[in-house]
Amino acid sequence: MDRDEAPATTAGAVSGGAATPATGGVVVPKHPKPGIPMLRWSSRAHSIAACQVELDRIWKSISLTTPGVPSGGDMSPVGEERRVAARSSVMNLVVVAGRGETGERAAAVIHGLTGRHPSRTIIVSPADPDGPAWIDAQVQAHCVLPTPDSPETCAELIYLTAGGESGGHLAGIVAPLLVHDLPCTVWWPSEPRLQSRTTKDLLRMADRVLVDGSGWSGDGLDRLADLAALPAAYNVEIADFALLRQSRWREAIASSFDLPRLMPFLGSIREITVRYAAHDGSPRATNVVKPIYHLAWLASRLGMTVVEPMAAVDDAWSGYHGVLRSSRRHVAISLEPMESDNTAGSTMEVEIGAQRADHMLIARVTGQADGITVATTVDGDQLADRHYLVPRRREGDLLAETIEDAGAHPITAEALAMAAALVGRPIPGHRATGVMRAAA
Amino acid sequence: MATKAPPGRPTTTTRTGPLRPDTTERGPHTAAPAPGGRTIKDERLAQDGKRKKPSKAVEANPLRKGLRLERVPDPHVMVLFGATGDLSHRKVIPALAQLWRTNLLPQDWMLVAIGRRPYDDDMFREELRTTLRANARVPLEPSVEKQFLQRISYHRGDFDDDAAYMSLIEKLDKIDAEHATAGNRLFYLATQPSAFPLIVNQIGKCGLDHETHGGGWRRIIVEKPFGRDFDSAKRLNREVGKVFRESQVYRIDHYLGKETVRNLLVFRFANGIFEPLWNRRYVDHVQITMAESIGVEDRGSFYEETGAVRDVVQNHLLQLLALVAMEPPATLEAEALRDEKVKVLRAVDRLDRTSVDADVVRGQYGPGWVAGEHVEGYRQEPEVDADSETETFVAMKLEIDDWRWSGVPFYLRTGKRLPKRATEIAIQFRDVPHRLFTEAQSNPQPNLLAIRIQPDEGIVLRFGSKVPGLGMDIRTVNMDFTYGSAFSTDAPEAYETLILDAMLGDASLFTRADEVEAAWAAVDPILDTWVEEPPPPFPNYESGTWGPAAAERLMERAGRRWRRI
């Protein structure tokens, strides 16, 4: 990134008609509107120490106070108060942006959450690895007026580019800027290089890791297995947007078995097939992280173990096949590509076949243009279809949901461990590792 | 979704043949299920007059574990009585529209709106369109609004007309056939309370209450007020109980659906630091205030029949009191939660004539100024008797005679035409046992925890802090948590929360029959005493003030004062 680039544009869109002063400092919004994030401070620094000074300056600046109202409301004598813009932080959010535009996209998402989940956000981008070491940081405060007469809620954003050798030591740059005692989330909006030293250093300071496995190159399975190994190695929690996006699918699949007379079939599943979109000529290159998450979630929830990990069949359009064990029965599992105009790797259909005594159940959950339809048959008799609308969830919604899910996500840890077992790289000691015997 | 079968892969996803053969060892022989999913053993037990209870393992769907997304209710038909009334238009329909907008209603959901006015579907939908424009919390996109309104049909009929119920049955059966609503029905009584017994009776008479075997639940939501005293509430419970089981009845008190009220449970039982202080040893007294700046508006005739005790104290304020004072429930299941609330209501010290005279203050507003505007007195309001003795203000002291709260007064206050609209619960802690900072210019105030229900939902903790400087001065400061600042997300309206809960069969936030009766038992002595004694000279407080002077004296007698809200 060009070091002389204007901060307001590099940090993403900021509403409020603000103008960035040349010297850096307070920005007075021209038309503040409740609920709309406004840039209220912008300054520049070229060292970590200078960044810290700028952060201090933001909150010492009396210009950030807003006219107050009498506090009232208690039995003590009422005094005149000034309402000061309140710095709020629920966490440290470190965004590793490989490219400038990735950082801008992340910044835009984070601005949208200023009021709801204010964080100290540090967007780091390495640049020009072969040049001399340098640091360029834009230090900003973004504020939201919850209501016209409320104090502003503000959060800090540091947009930091590290050139030369500095870019190889991102953890060392980030560590002094973290708010102490607050959890640290590291978000890779694009593809993380999980084996690199820089990444490992960042993981050591992280409490939580955010990724989007559906955007990874190739089939994504190796990286998925790498990801599954992180909780044990670094004591971090994982949130994968690819898995979060499937929540309505899980609701739909679970609903297939809500009827008491259908629930026993869950113990007698024989087949699970997930069909996913692929484009002509590229079924093998399609990212199958989302489809395999369906299998992994079902298998983990139903206490299945892996007998034969998923293996690609020679014919690219035949997909991947494996075998699970449920109680004493084998369950055939498949990922099958379907040529489609939909985004490659997106789920088209989940089909579950179960046989209990002489009765056969088939639950078919199918993606439609506007949602998901659940169709269930028992011995060929069609039960009533159900249709679920699937609202489009943007990155901001997923990030907010991740932040709200403080603590380990109840599905991710198990699904991820099962996914690793499904691709033949089980987490040692995990109960999904019936695979160890079979793989051996 | 355009798809085509690629070469070299199966071309169909429609299975007609058997599943792949089981390649592993078989488990023990499983009894073949009889038609309808029942085993031979089930059939035999049924013939013996016993029904096999489904095992716990079957009842709990393992795939539901850990799903964070709000569960979508079963497909069903909602039958709204009083659909053309004010409550339906201001609250119920807008709440349903929001649930629809946010995809929380099942796609196979239908609403049959019942009213007396001569509308057809299109006329009623047109009226709702206007209603939604005025009352929707978040405006609906035109396409969503259209979809929503298409789910609604109008059914004209008088509540006592047998023929109207017979045609309703036909209509519901037809909807079941066309929309796969599976016989599930949610009845909503948004009518005048006097119509409740009649409608319930008619529902029972035509068999609409019967839960069909193997599918089709029936539930009923009943609006407040539930009775007008202990006896009438008991009678009404009995009438409803003749038709519906208690587990099918959802008595709505919208206050329980408010986000801050629900947060009371979280605040008390998810935080370890407050509960140890939540008792007679540390709490001096509790104040619960629900103040309204509006008058009776166009509800004069209704208010003449109710008054502040019936309209607010018996339900909203006593529910807040129960949530503040209850013991931790064993679980968050409806019965556990309601058991604890009932215990508190039963422990409220029964007032007698003497204590009503001493500890309960009633008032009625006269003309005055609210928010810079001159307003009429209660007796000048439309549909109000010029000599009305109805109370528009109540302040009272109650005590809860149990191990935790014995000796701690709970002060309740509600009124109309007060200076502002505000509802809050204040826990006033005891003063420190020894005043150490005697040299300080101002004495630190005792700690106080205020839970603001509306507006500015939030929590304030008051404590003393040293004023920076060379001296040792202490000033009382507030640690203020405001919902709006911490969570800028839109909180759902109480009606959205409660209606969705009823659709899902979760009765936690609804009041149970014995709970309603216990609350009436707590206020009945007040009503009985007031029937026998003439009120103080009404009006006795000016609009825009905090009620009659007697309310202040009630607190001053104990060396306390009302919070200035």
In order, the DSSP letters of A209-268 are: EEE-GGGSSTT-HHHHHHHHHHHHHH--EEEEHHHHTTHHHHHHHHHTT-STTTGGGGGG
pLDDT score recorded for residue A195: 86
pLDDT score recorded for residue A22: 36
What are the angstrom distances between the C-alpha of A311 and each of A440, B5, B180, B525?
A: 15, 22, 41, 77
Residue by residue, DSSP assigns B253-289 as -GGGGSHHHHHHHHHHHS-TTTGGG-STTTEEEEEEE
Check whether B296 has a pLDDT greater than 70: yes
Check whether B307 has a pLDDT greater than 50: yes
User: Who contacts B8 (Cβ-Cβ below 8 Å, separation ≥6)?
Assistant: A315, A316, A317, A318
pLDDT score recorded for residue B458: 81
Name residues of chain A where pLDDT drops below 70.
Answer: 1-23, 29-32, 60-89, 114-118, 147-151, 181, 391-392, 404-409, 432-440
Calculate mean pLDDT across residues B1-28. 43
Residue by residue, DSSP assigns B351-405 as P-HHHHHHHEEEE-EEEEEETTEEE--GGGSTT--TT----SEEEEEEEB-STTT
pLDDT score recorded for residue A75: 31
pLDDT score recorded for residue B37: 42
Neighbours of B52 (CB within 10 A): 13
pLDDT score recorded for residue A408: 63
Element (H, E) at B145: helix B142-150
Q: Under a CB-based contact definition with an 8 Å cutoff, are residues B291 and B452 in contact?
A: no
pTM higher than 0.90: no
Query: B15: burial class by Cβ within 10 Å (0-12, 13-18, 19+)?
Result: middle
Q: How far is B486 from chain A (nearest CA, A)?
A: 6
Residue type, B545: T
Of B2, B19, B478, the CB nearest to A71: B478
Average confidence score pLDDT of chain B: 84
pLDDT score recorded for residue B8: 45
Query: Which among A3, A204, A20, A186 is positioned nearest to A106, based on CA atoms?
Result: A186
Which of A246-260, B344-358, B496-510 is least confident? A246-260
Mode of pairing for the β-strands spanning B541-543 and B365-370: parallel
pLDDT score recorded for residue A116: 66
Look-up of token digits 């004591």: A235
Query: Which among B396, B419, B390 is positioned nearest to B310, based on CA atoms?
Result: B390
Convert the pLDDT of each residue in B74-115 to its tens digit: 889 999 999 998 889 999 999 999 999 888 888 889 999 999
Contact list, B563 vs chain A (CB under 8 Å): 73-75
pLDDT score recorded for residue B34: 38
Neighbours of A68 (CB within 10 A): 12
Q: How many beta-carbon pairs under 8 angstroms link A with B?
A: 209
Q: What are phi and psi of A141, to 5 degrees?
A: -120, 130
Convert the pLDDT of each residue in B105-130 to its tens digit: 888 899 999 998 988 999 999 999 99
Which of A173-177, A335-339, B278-282, B521-525 is least confident? A173-177
CA angle A312, A315, A320 (to 5 degrees): 25
Inter-chain residue contact B482 with A270, CB threshold 8 Å: no
- What is the rounded CA–CA span in Å between residue B521 and residue B518? 5
Q: Which residue has the higher pLDDT, B390 or B32?
A: B390
Q: Under a CB-based contact definition with an 8 Å cutoff, are residues A339 and A346 in contact?
A: no
ipTM of the complex: 0.71
Which of A119-128, B63-72, B277-286 is least confident? B63-72
pLDDT score recorded for residue A167: 82
Inter-chain residue contact B22 with A330, CB threshold 8 Å: yes
pLDDT score recorded for residue A405: 63
Task: Supply the residues of B annotated as catalytic.
Answer: 316
pLDDT score recorded for residue B65: 79
Check whether B487 has a pLDDT greater than 70: no
- B window 236-255, beta carbon within 8 A of A: none
Looking at chain B, how many residues does it have? 565
User: Who contacts B482 (Cβ-Cβ below 8 Å, separation ≥6)?
Assistant: A146, A150, B456, B457, B458
pLDDT score recorded for residue A4: 31
Residue B457 DSSP SS3: coil
The confidence band for B42, taking pLDDT boundaries of 50, 70 and 90, is: very low
| B8 touching A (Cβ < 8 Å) | yes
Contact list, A380 vs chain B (CB under 8 Å): 16
pLDDT score recorded for residue B30: 36
Calculate mean pLDDT across residues B326-344. 92
Check whether B456 has a pLDDT greater than 80: no
Contact list, B487 vs chain A (CB under 8 Å): 116
Q: Which tokens hold the place of B174? A: 């037809």
Check whether B6 has a pLDDT greater than 90: no
Calculate mean pLDDT across residues B230-242. 93
pLDDT score recorded for residue B11: 36
Distance from the first to the final alpha carbon of chain A: 49
Inter-chain residue contact B33 with A115, CB threshold 8 Å: no
Residue A15 DSSP SS3: strand
Buried b (16+ CB within 10 A) or exposed e, A325-339: bbeebbbbbbbbbbb
pLDDT score recorded for residue A223: 93
Of A251, A253, A325, the CB nearest to B69: A251
Chain B residue nearest residue A335, CA to CA: B9
pLDDT score recorded for residue B460: 86
pLDDT score recorded for residue B43: 41
Residue type, B404: R
